[in-house]
Structure 1
Amino acid sequence: MKNVMMDNQLIANLSAFYYDYQGLQVSKIIARTSVNENIDAEMSGLEAEFAGHLHQCLA
């Protein structure tokens, strides 16, 4: 979701995500040996970004 507010003085961007991996390939080192595994994984989250113009007195 993208918003421009306050007479173009403030910009707010919000996003949500969800990933559902099946057979995700993961590498790790065990006793100086590289081991590859296939795992299932889920990730989700929110991201927010704000940008705005400072008042002339604060600049």
Structure 2
Amino acid sequence: MKETNMSYFEIMQLPYSVYLGLYRQFYIINLESTEEGREALERGRMLNETKPDLNKIRQKINNS
């Protein structure tokens, strides 16, 4: 991970949970840098949503 300015050996010394957190953050930052990546992140957020958007449901019902 060149974004961290850490050497390979420094990264290997990190606790695994810290490494995974850094990896996740840099992966997200990389996706946010392109339009396609931002769309993929938005789709992922929608798929992980567990509560219904009641306002959108009401709009769909009223427009039908």
TM norm structure 1: 0.21
TM norm structure 2: 0.20
State the structure with more CA Rg. 1
